[in-house]
Structure 1
Amino acid sequence: MFFSFDKIVMSMAAVRFLSSVVELTAAVLMLYFNRVETAFKINAVLALVGPAVLITVTTLGLVGLAGKVSPLGMASILLGVTLIFLGINKL
């Protein structure tokens, strides 16, 4: 039995899978080093990974939706993503 997955969906899932591997590796490293300072540094690196993954997956999703969503719908999605980042930066 073979499954046919959309290339965009497969790419989005692959990026999320890679992100989860990075997160799991970071958790293992935190336990391995067993120091608050080192765990804090590892966590700081993860703070860079999260937004990059969000941007990448969102971009892939928008590319997949191009032509299927009205211009107003696309503008609403872009506005929503922009508001997410504005909200994050205001904290």
Structure 2
Amino acid sequence: MFEKAILGMAFLRIFSGSLEILVALIILKLNNVEKALVVNSSLALIGPLILITTTSIGLIGMADKISFTKIIWVFIGIAFILYGVKSG
């Protein structure tokens, strides 16, 4: 049997991947660069949310095995990743 944290993380990644495929199909159907760019930009909001949520679920699943300080360091790392990607 799988741990609940593993199932939650896997479900979120399956959802995220399915959403990516759905958006790709919508972009093909639109066949318009301007509209496709708007649809694609919506994924820029969803990606970081999936990353933060998946990481949070994993950390909650490990809460008894990892110190609070290390959890804070992980979230600081995520914040740096998001800042680096968004500040281009």
User: TM-score, normalization: structure 1?
Assistant: 0.86
Name the CA distance, whole Å, in 2 between partners of 1:56 and 1:46. Answer: 15
> Which consecutive unaligned segments of at least 5 residues does structure 2 have?
none
User: Per-residue deviation at 1:33?
Assistant: 1.3
Q: Pick from 65, 68, 71: which aligns with 1:71? A: 68
Deviations 1:32-89 (A, max 9, x none): 1111111111101111111111111011111111110123322321221122122223
Name the CA distance, whole Å, in 1 between partners of 2:68 and 2:42. Answer: 36
**The structure with more radius of gyration:** 1
Name the CA distance, whole Å, in 2 between partners of 1:22 and 1:32. Answer: 15
Structure 1 ranges of 4+ moved more than 4 A: none
User: TM-score, normalization: structure 2?
Assistant: 0.89
Name the CA distance, whole Å, in 1 between partners of 2:27 and 2:65. Answer: 44
> Which consecutive unaligned segments of at least 5 residues does structure 1 have?
none
In the alignment, structure 1 residue 84 sits paired with structure 2 residue 59? no
State the partner residue of 1:61: 58
